[in-house]
Structures are given as C-alpha cells and as structure tokens.
Chain A
Amino acid sequence: MQKKHGKPKIITKDELASGVKSFRIHAPLIAAKAKPGQFVIIRIDERGERIPITIVDSDSEEGTLTLIVQEVGKTTKKLGRMREDEEIADLVGPLGNPSEIENFGQVVVIGGGVGVTAAYEEAKALKKAGNRVISIIGARNKDLLFFEQEMRQVSDELNITTDDGTRGRKGFVTDVLKDLIDQRRHIDLVFAVGPTIMMKIVSKITEPHGIRTIVSLNPIMLDGTGMCGACRVRIGGQTKFTCVDGPDFDGHLVDFDELMTRQRMYLKEEKLALQMYENNVR
C-alpha cells in the first residue's frame, strides 16, 4: 500500500529561552540525508514567505529534524505560535553544502545568539572527528542564553558570555577569542556563527594571526536552490550564492559590510508585516 506523502508535522515544541523555540518536525526523507551545516527552507502557510532555518539535529531513525527559531518577525512569531500536531505547509532540504569536518587539531567554535544552535551541530561533529573543542557562546543576557548543557557535552572547554554579565563573563564572545589568542593558545581553526557583525569582528580578529576562520552566512533567501541570486555574497571579490556555494565561507574573504546592507533591504516591509500581524493577533 502506498504511503501518502504527507505534510511535515510538528512533533514537539519547547521554549528554550525568551522568544526562542525548538521544534522537532517529522520529515523522514530530509532527516535521512541531513548533514551538519545544512539548512531547510520553510514556508508555514499558503501566503507565507520562504525562509532558511539551520538544521540543528536530525534523527534518521525517528525521521525527525530539530529546528530552532528566534522570534524576530512575522514568520518566526507565527511559527512560534504553532502547536504540536500542526502541519507546516512546505519544508525543503537539505540545502547548502555540509560543513567540512576533519580532525584539524584544536578548534574554537563560537556561537552568538541563536547561532549557538548551528555552533552546537558543528562542535558535535568536530568533537566526533577527534578535534579538541574550545567553545564560546554568548547572548545578550541570561534569559536569552540556551544550549549551555548541550555545548558542555560536546566541548573540552566552554566559555560563556553575556552582554550584561548576568551569566558567565560580562562582555562578548569576541573578548574571549581575543584572550585565547593573547594567551598564545594553539588554534587550528575557528568556526563562528551568529549575527553578521559578530562574524565580521571574529574574522577581523583572526586575520592578522593567519588563523583559518570559517563563518556560516545567513543572507535573505528566496528559493534556496541557486535559482535567483537573492542570497548572493561577495567572497574574495567574486559573487557566490550562499545557498549553493555556502553557507560556510572563509571569513577572511567575505564582504561583511555588503552582506549587512543587503540584509537590511526589507526592514520597512518586515516592520509593517509584523505590526499588522501583532495588531490582528490582539
């Protein structure tokens, strides 16, 4: 008997931190193929937009994917309000290139904000490949910090920062990175994922020391399959598509300023859509 090709269903939903939700979604085909570093494109309903979300974890036996979403705009807030057993209109993946995982030696994995989820996937894979993993995670305050336990399990050293000092060290992830470099710690690779400005500063810090730095970029996307060029970024002076050439790139070659400008392209529309949504929900 033929199995019906059903829509992806939300199996479980948890709140990890203020405005940060974790979803386990039934998507057996994608779960069987997903590798660290890859993402899905999700569209929650008929009028929805297509947005990329990193695959944090995948269980090929259970046939589920774990996606973690920070609620910033209409789509993520709408997703945040969905309940267990509800169906997602469209889910496509795994997209992007898997991260390059090797035994590099001693690596520093940095996760800022909701980027800690991608950092976790990366750290887990690097640890499994035999690397010694020094992790740095940071958030604005302790309520926005999450995945501490998970990161501790896959790291040899874990550093925590919060902007306001309510947990861990007061300051930024980049402060810890600077210290590690000043202490002349041996670093074979830095992997950083988080707000674009954070990845830019990490790359600027490592560049004069010639430390290989990989960043995972998050431009606006539309199709995610290399069809439209919305996610184009300048890498070493050449235009590349994040969805098919990335999302990982050499941080020293990325034009971060251009990326940040392009990420702001629809600020006005995003604000309007969110306002209208919040008014309706009330």
Chain B
Amino acid sequence: MLKQHPEKRIHNFNEVTLGYSVEQAITEASRCLQCPDHPCVKGCPVGINILAFIKCVKEGDFDKAIAIVKERNSLPAMTGRVCPWENQCEAACILDKVGEPVAIGRLERFVADHELKKGYEMPKIANPTGHKVAVVGSGPAGLTAAADLAKLGHSVVIFEALHTPGGVLSYGIPEFRLPKNIVKAEVSYVEKLGVSIKTNIVIGKLITVDELLEQGFDAVFIASGAGAPNFLNLPGENLCGIYSANEFLTRSNLMKAYAFPEYDTPIKVGKKVAVIGGGNVAVDAARTALRLGADEVYIVYRRSEKEMPARIEEIDNAREEGVKFRFLTNPVRFQGDEKGWVKQMECIRMKLGEPDESGRRKPTSIKGSEFSMNVDTVVVAIGQKPNPLVPRTTKGLQITRWGTIVVDEKSGKTIKDRVWAGGDIVSGAATVIEAMGMGKRAAKSIHEYLTTP
C-alpha cells in the first residue's frame, strides 16, 4: 500500500495513505477465497457482505461493489480509512492465519473513492411514513441512524452543537488520516437521503430532549458522543502550553489552525512536545504536533507498546515520521517558567503488574525513579468521557457512574419512553464503526416501534 514518504509527509497535512490503482484493487480482490462460511462478514460490526463486494471488484464491477457495501454502511469512504480492520474483518479472514489477510479495508476505500469520483447513486427511499425522528449529534452514530431511518421513509432531523457536522470525524481525526472533503461528501450523501442537519444547536442548552418530544418528534436518538476531556489532575496542569487532546485536535482539524493566519484560530506548538496517552487520539496528536513544527515529539505512555490501544498501522506511521516513545512512564507534575508556560514535566517510571478490569496489565509506579523531561507543549490524550449536557438535562435516563447512558443491548433503547441512545455516549470513547453499529441497531428498533401499531 503506497504512502507519502515520511520525510515529505511531516511537512504537509495531506492524506498519508494513497489509494489502490484499478490494477492493484483487482489483484488484491483476486486473493479472496470466497469462503462459504464468510468469517469476514461475521467480523464486521455492521455486517457488510464483504465477499460479495470483493467478488465484484475482482470482476471490475465497481458500481455494484459499492452498492453492496452501501446496503450496510452509509459512510464507506470514512470507514475505509479509519476502521481497525486488523481487529475485525481482516482478523477473521482465513488468509490471516497463513500470512497477509485480504486487504478488505483498502478495497472498501477503493470502491468508496470510486463512487465519490463518479457521483453518488441514490438508493430507493421508501414512501414517507409521516413519522419524525430527532437525532442528537452528527457523529458516526447519529449520521448512520439518520441515514437508515431516512431510507425507510421517516423524516429525520439531526441537531449538531458545532458549526460543522461530523463529530469526531470533523474535529477529532486529523486531515492526514481522514480528509475533511471526504467527510463533507459523506455527510452530504446523508443529507441527499432527506436528512436535515441543523448545526449550532446544543441540545441540553437551547432545547432539551423532553422539549423535542413535546414539539412533535415521535422518537429521539441520543448520539452526543464522548466530547468531554479527561485531565490528569496533576499540579501545574493549567500552565500555558498544556492542552487537552480535544482542544489540540479541534483547533487543528476543525478550525484549521495549521493554516493560521489564513484561518483565524491559533495553536501553539513549541520545540519539545509530550503527548500523554497511548490510543489513536494520542498518536493523532503526536503526528499533528510534528507537522506543526515541533523539533521533538514524545508519546509518553504508562504501559508498554504491546498494551497501546492505538492502531499498529498508525503507530508505525508515527515512528516512521520520527515520533519518539517513552513507555512505562507517567507524568507526576508540570513546572512552568516565570511567564506561566510549561517548561518541565516530572515523570516516574512504571512497571506492569496483574491485569486490571480492562484486561490490560496494571501499571504501578516505581518508587524513587522520578526524572524530568524538558517540554514546552503537552497534550493530554488519556481518554474522553461523555459530555454531560444531555444526560444532565434529560429526565428519566439511567446514567452510569462514568456518565454513559444505559441502553438495552439488542435495541439501543433507554429506559425513557421514546428515547434511544448509541455511540460513545453509551460505550464511552470507542471506534467510529462501533458507533455506526449502534446507530444501525437503534434505527432498526426505532423503525419497528414507529411502524408497529
């Protein structure tokens, strides 16, 4: 799979991975054994008919291939870029046992990009049912639920708090992994299905979920996401130059601070950057910091590389680009200069013990192993939690101690009448595709509820 050369790509925000050519796609598709029991389909959170679409690619019928993908997945140009295939469809692929699995993700991207170039083929929309559904949040869960409900003939309105739809697809994932013109195109596909997206409306401040139900919506799907940052709560964490990953990435991705001063939102990146965390968000932040001109960028993670939740492919990309890693290290405090800017991060070394409740080995600090790192920028990327605005202002929901909304696993229904929920607001911060899976599940249940007398 071709990529921009590391030395070149750290100076731009262009997409790192380049797509297949027609020949490459057909060659790769021909490797598929068309297994009768299709383990790959079982491995896909939205159940795409993988071997069927791959067969079409092999035969050169790309239009039919994308139509098959779109039966289950409304946002393939995005999942074809950010899905962790290595844990899902490709991990289930038989060829994975003997070598390289079929590159299902790359092929999905190939057919999605083919359609983007050609122009969308609109699916059949069912006759209008007369029912209205409100969706809170235009991230992957909200967009997917809205698309499925619209195809079934329901009238759907998505309410989005920010000024651009997409949720993490717009503000969280960098341009070089997921170009925003792709996000825009996929969002406009959802709008073409008949979905109305109203931006700059904060449900929980301007209108509450209860008011939506009173105002004539027959059902509400809450997909407001995990849009609240976790901080370390360490001394000095409010010094200038210390960002939450949400702020750092929103400035760069959504507000295009990498193009300041052509775009008005600034972002500060010094010479020595430390990113705390080991997930995809941390890796994204580190690679963004490099592109913004840092001399040295360190990912500082309290466990070892083996436990990093980030995609291996992106960790490799980061390493190629020159990101350095400090494993088994945790910050303890931040020290600033006389102007209030962070200048040092005191750290402690960690060791791994028995697995904790997440199944990963629990890190504990090694007494007396403190050391200092000179840093002038820090990005805290230790996870996001559910934004509390909607849970706090919606009566009758069951909320866990982590702030997530409790739902029935099969239907996504909450205990509140006519209200469903899905995506990170239910699971805590997870992946785009898992959110989409929950969006599909809820759409199915909402449709059944609306059409059952």
What residues of chain A have their CB less than 8 Å away from a CB belonging to chain B?
A: 5, 29-30, 33, 43, 47-50, 74-75, 89-95, 222-223, 225-230, 232-234, 239, 244, 258, 261-262, 264-266, 269-270, 272-273, 276
Contact = CB atoms under 8 A, between A and B. Distances in A.
Contact of A225 (B207, B265, B389): B389
Given A43-B163, A50-B265, A91-B200, 8 more contacts: A29-B206, A48-B264, A92-B161, A92-B201, A94-B205, A222-B247, A226-B388, A261-B239
Given A50-B255, A92-B200, A261-B339, A223 B205 contact: no
Contact of A74 (B202, B227, B247, B264): B264
Contacts of A93: 202, 205-206
B268 interface: yes
Contacts, number: 115
B250 interface: yes
Contact of B264 (A47, A91, A227, A234): A47
B238 A234 contact: yes
B205 A95 contact: yes
B310 to A, nearest CB: 21
Contacts of A234: 238
Contacts of B263: 47
Interface in B227-255: 227-229, 231, 233, 237-241, 243-244, 246-247, 250-251, 255
A233 B339 CA distance: 17
Interface of B: 161-163, 198-202, 205-207, 227-229, 231, 233, 237-241, 243-244, 246-247, 250-251, 255-256, 260-266, 268, 339-340, 387-389
A183 B306 CA distance: 69
Classify the interface of chain A: helix, strand, loop or mixed: mixed
Nearest to A224: B202
Contact of A226 (B162, B228, B268, B340): B228
B247 A228 contact: yes
Nearest 5 pairs of A and B residues by beta carbon: A261-B340, A228-B247, A269-B266, A90-B163, A49-B264
A48 to B, nearest CB: 5
A228 B229 contact: yes
Given A91-B200, A222-B251, A276 B261 contact: yes
Contacts of A233: 238
Nearest to A75: B264
Contact of B231 (A94, A239, A261): A239
